[in-house]
Amino acid sequence: MRVGRIHNYVAARAAARRALPRVLFDFIDGGADDERTLAENEAAFARIALLPRQAAATLTPDLSCTVLGARCALPVALAPCGGSRLVWPDGERALVRAAGRCGAAATMSTAASTTLEAVAAAATGPVWFQLYYPGERSAAAAVVDRAAAAGFGALFVTVDMPVRGNQERVRSAERVVPPRPSVASAIRFAPQLCARPAWTARYVRDGLPDGVTVRTGGRPGAPGAAGVAVPAAVPPPAGAGRRPPVQWADVAWVRDRWEGPLVVKGILTAADARRAVDLGADAVVVSNHGGRQLDGAPATIEVLAGVRASVGPSTEVLLDGGVRRGTDVVRALALGANAVLIGRPYLYGLAAGGEAGVRRVLDLFAEELARTMTLLGRARLDDLDASCVAPPQVGDDARWWTRS
């Protein structure tokens, strides 16, 4: 489709729904259990009112910032999302190209169908690598060292996926989500594939990648394959093949091995944030995995101020989950985030138009953020502090938060 027609995230989501087989759309769009945390991520942003400072507007606010040592044109980066190559051919490289052209940073997921070296080589802007700790040190060392050699600028260790959440929208469809390419799944999903002939043709031309089931290193067993396993949606029988969940001792080990900025992703409490920082993390991501893991976990924007208060001003704090508009970016920065990550919005753009679709989504964030800052009478990101949001929603933790 012509991505210029996408005028907001709602239109991007609708375009993705039209483009993808239903099981794949549900895989991206869905959350865990009753999807309460998924819904709450967005709803909690909507409850925070914004307070403009009138007659103080700048028409061209400065959106640039430094995040994890990288200069970015806007404080919105792409979150690590597995399965991108199922959404669009060569999806992982399309993402980093799109981000680079918009001056945004991109995070590559462990669960990718393209080697991390190929993704790093395609990048024209800041790229970070996300690690699902593979359960044993030798496998972890191989991936961490390769990410360093490939030139990734930061390493994210995701700590909120000891096992996959219960995503019931897709669980009923297949025991492994997204489905692996096979004759059986082709027959099973034939009606959905026939209903989306353009996606199906692109997917076949791309060589039937199996998305999150192919690991960082390429096809399992291929030379250089990293062998980092992502636990299946439905546990295999009797614990067979399951990796032990990541522990803080593993985070400490990664800290010793990785020399660049280390980020712990999946933090929801002040205590865990402090623990990550005490172990040497340079930054944390306040995240509930987009409501895909623990249903009932709090909306990320609601715990942000407490996390910021616990780590103090010198640790970078990123946030993701439910960021859909430039106004949400402002709310997150006002409550203590240095930058935000987006997941589903860019996957919708990718589904609608590949690299151009992702660029469109990032451009919309930049436009909306600039307009919101003008309306708020704030010229620079450093001007976004607790004074931008209505006091009832701010809470005690955030009252002290000022940037300058």
Ligand X SMILES: Cc1cc2nc3c(=O)[nH]c(=O)nc-3n(C[C@H](O)[C@H](O)[C@H](O)COP(=O)(O)O)c2cc1C
Positions marked active-site: 289
Does 287 bind ligand X (CB under 6 A)? Our answer is yes
The answer to whether 67 and 77 are in contact (CB under 8 A) is yes
> What is the C-alpha to C-alpha distance for residues 115 and 221, in angstroms, rounded to an integer?
13
Does 116 bind ligand X (CB under 6 A)? Our answer is no
Does 95 bind ligand X (CB under 6 A)? Our answer is no
State in angstroms the smallest separation of the CB of 39 from ligand X. Answer: 11
Strand partners, 285: 265, 318
Does 301 bind ligand X (CB under 6 A)? Our answer is no
Helix axes 326-334, 300-311, angle to 10 degrees: 30
> What is the C-alpha to C-alpha distance for residues 357 and 347, in angstroms, rounded to an integer?
9
State in angstroms the smallest separation of the CB of 365 from ligand X. Answer: 11
The answer to whether 42 and 345 are in contact (CB under 8 A) is no
Residue nearer to ligand X on the CB measure, 41 or 327: 41
Binding mask 220-259 for ligand X (x = CB under 6 A): ----------------------------------------
> What is the C-alpha to C-alpha distance for residues 257 and 269, in angstroms, rounded to an integer?
26
Question: 268: Cβ–Cβ under 8 A, 6 or more apart, which residues?
Answer: 160, 286, 287, 288, 297, 298, 300, 303, 307
Does 344 bind ligand X (CB under 6 A)? Our answer is yes
Does 75 bind ligand X (CB under 6 A)? Our answer is no
State in angstroms the smallest separation of the CB of 123 from ligand X. Answer: 18
Helix, strand, or coil (residue 317): strand
State in angstroms the smallest separation of the CB of 61 from ligand X. Answer: 23
Question: Which one, of 179, 96, 170, 81, lies nearest residue 132 by Cα?
Answer: 81
Does 218 bind ligand X (CB under 6 A)? Our answer is no
**Peptide bond before residue 178 is cis, with ω within 30 degrees of 0:** yes
- From 11-19, 200-208, 283-291, 325-333, span contacting ligand X (CB under 6 A): 283-291
Q: How many residues bind ligand X (CB under 6 A)?
A: 26
Work out which of 265, 331, 360, 378 binds ligand X, going by CB under 6 A.
Answer: 265
* E strand map for 120-167: 127-131, 155-158
Does 216 bind ligand X (CB under 6 A)? Our answer is no
The answer to whether 316 and 374 are in contact (CB under 8 A) is no
Does 82 bind ligand X (CB under 6 A)? Our answer is yes
Does 167 bind ligand X (CB under 6 A)? Our answer is no
The answer to whether 97 and 126 are in contact (CB under 8 A) is no
Work out which of 79, 102, 147, 283 binds ligand X, going by CB under 6 A.
Answer: 79
Burial class (CB in 10 A: 0-12, 13-18, 19+), 387: middle
Does 321 bind ligand X (CB under 6 A)? Our answer is yes
Q: C-alpha distances in angstroms, 227 versus 45, 243, 363? A: 38, 11, 36
Work out which of 15, 19, 32, 111 binds ligand X, going by CB under 6 A.
Answer: 111
State in angstroms the smallest separation of the CB of 111 from ligand X. Answer: 4
Work out which of 92, 210, 272, 320 binds ligand X, going by CB under 6 A.
Answer: 320
End-to-end CA distance of the chain, in Å? 44
Does 196 bind ligand X (CB under 6 A)? Our answer is no
State in angstroms the smallest separation of the CB of 391 from ligand X. Answer: 26
Residue/partner pairs of 309-312 with CB below 8 Å, 24 or more apart: 309/270, 309/336, 309/397, 309/398, 309/400, 309/401, 310/270, 310/271, 310/273, 310/274, 311/273, 311/274, 311/277, 311/284
Does 21 bind ligand X (CB under 6 A)? Our answer is no
Does 143 bind ligand X (CB under 6 A)? Our answer is no
Does 337 bind ligand X (CB under 6 A)? Our answer is no
Does 323 bind ligand X (CB under 6 A)? Our answer is yes
Does 130 bind ligand X (CB under 6 A)? Our answer is yes
State in angstroms the smallest separation of the CB of 323 from ligand X. Answer: 6
Tell me which residue has its CB nearest to ligand X.
Answer: 343
State in angstroms the smallest separation of the CB of 189 from ligand X. Answer: 18
- From 97-105, 337-345, 348-356, 366-374, span contacting ligand X (CB under 6 A): 337-345
Burial class (CB in 10 A: 0-12, 13-18, 19+), 111: buried
Does 41 bind ligand X (CB under 6 A)? Our answer is yes
Please give the residue ranges that form the binding site for ligand X (CB under 6 A): 27-28, 41, 79-83, 109-111, 130, 158, 265, 287, 289-290, 292, 320-323, 342-344, 347
